[in-house]
A = this chain, B = another copy of it.
Amino acid sequence: MSDMPESVVIREVGPRDGLQNEDPIPTEAKVRLLDALSGTGVRRIEAVSFVHPKAIPQMADADEVWRRAAKVDGVRYSALVPNTRGAQRALAAGFTEIEVVVSASDTHNRRNVNRSTDESLDDIAALIDLLHSAGATAEVIVATSFGCPYEGDVDPARVAAIVDRVVADGADRVAFGDTTGMGTPRRVRELLTAVRDRNAQVPVLLHFHNTRGTALANLLTALELGVTEFDASVGGLGGCPYAPGASGNLATEEAVHMLHDMGIDTGIDLAALLDAAALAERLVGRQLPSGVLRAGPRDRLTPRSA
């Protein structure tokens, strides 16, 4: 355990990645969830995405949600954009940290955006320039980094080559998405090794799904390899609508619960986070797949008289 980081940054993605993959909820409810999360002590929040409202009606009110949400000091908020139009909207809304996505799997990328991975990388190069010229940073999220539901294994060397490309094009950070929960400790180790052999300095963030139960084992492996930034989604909100069989973003409270028990700081008040998870559950109206929300943290005791 001596090699573990003392502190990690959790990026809470429930308001965007989570809600984008649930049935639409009212604007007011989105603002409430964002504000609840902003009060937990979390250091980063992916707040909204600026996508076409016909493609993703869940985010049609992104401008209004963001305008009404509290902007809390010390929280870094970000937005995800699919293209130039989205980038312009995000910049106009005041975002200075912006994410774009490409899939490491050509098949998966084509099914999402009807373009090859290479074509999307060309688009992203132009987007990075646009964002930088407006004073914003650009994070490239590489989806299906640990496997593709259509193609199967994704060669870590292919992902590393994508990192080469986007770093050369100016990406400020890279995130690796386990889009359909195909990640395992072995795959995490292989991917990080392949990427670092070539781009040791690029900041990386990992985004795990718990589809096959491996999310916290993957996180543990990444911690051992020195990764200190992770996505997680309050209550386990969301999944991926384009990925058959996908389910379950890693629940933020499950990640925080384990990290805190290991003595790793996140800045997050777990009790406040559990309140936010309970709120998320009420807002979407279905039971969320979060064990810590169900059972409580390990230090919540049962009365002996029970």
- Residue positions of A touching B, CB distance < 8 A: 1, 107, 147, 149-153, 180-182, 184-187, 189, 210-217, 219-221, 244-248, 251, 254, 257-258, 261-263, 290-292, 294-299, 301-302, 304, 306
Task: Tell me how far the C-beta of A151 lies from the nearest C-beta in chain B, rounded to whole angstroms.
Answer: 7
Asked if B186 and A302 sit within 8 Å, CB to CB, the answer is no
Task: Tell me how far the C-beta of A2 lies from the nearest C-beta in chain B, rounded to whole angstroms.
Answer: 11
Q: Which of chain B's residues have a CB closer than 8 A to the CB of A261? A: 184, 186-187
Within the assembled complex, what's the spacing in Å between the Cα atoms of A90 and B234?
Answer: 48
Asked if B213 and A258 sit within 8 Å, CB to CB, the answer is yes
15 contacts between A and B (CB under 8 A): A1-B189, A184-B262, A184-B298, A185-B258, A211-B291, A213-B215, A213-B216, A214-B254, A220-B220, A220-B221, A244-B302, A245-B294, A245-B295, A246-B295, A247-B295
Asked if A152 and B217 sit within 8 Å, CB to CB, the answer is no
Asked if A152 and B301 sit within 8 Å, CB to CB, the answer is yes
Task: Tell me how far the C-beta of A244 lies from the nearest C-beta in chain B, rounded to whole angstroms.
Answer: 5
From B149, B152, B292, B304, contact of A212 by CB (8 A): B292
Asked if A214 and B304 sit within 8 Å, CB to CB, the answer is no
Task: Tell me how far the C-beta of A182 lies from the nearest C-beta in chain B, rounded to whole angstroms.
Answer: 4
Task: Tell me how far the C-beta of A51 lies from the nearest C-beta in chain B, rounded to whole angstroms.
Answer: 23
Within the assembled complex, what's the spacing in Å between the Cα atoms of A65 and B82?
Answer: 59
Asked if A245 and B296 sit within 8 Å, CB to CB, the answer is yes
Asked if B212 and A298 sit within 8 Å, CB to CB, the answer is yes
Q: Which of chain B's residues have a CB closer than 8 A to the CB of A216? A: 213-214, 216-217
Asked if A302 and B215 sit within 8 Å, CB to CB, the answer is no
Asked if A291 and B248 sit within 8 Å, CB to CB, the answer is yes
Q: Which of chain B's residues have a CB closer than 8 A to the CB of A214? A: 216, 254, 258
Task: Tell me how far the C-beta of A210 lies from the nearest C-beta in chain B, rounded to whole angstroms.
Answer: 7
Asked if A107 and B247 sit within 8 Å, CB to CB, the answer is no
Residue among A186, A210, A294 with max Cβ neighbours from chain B (10 Å) = A186
Asked if B186 and A244 sit within 8 Å, CB to CB, the answer is no
Within the assembled complex, what's the spacing in Å between the Cα atoms of A299 and B290?
Answer: 25
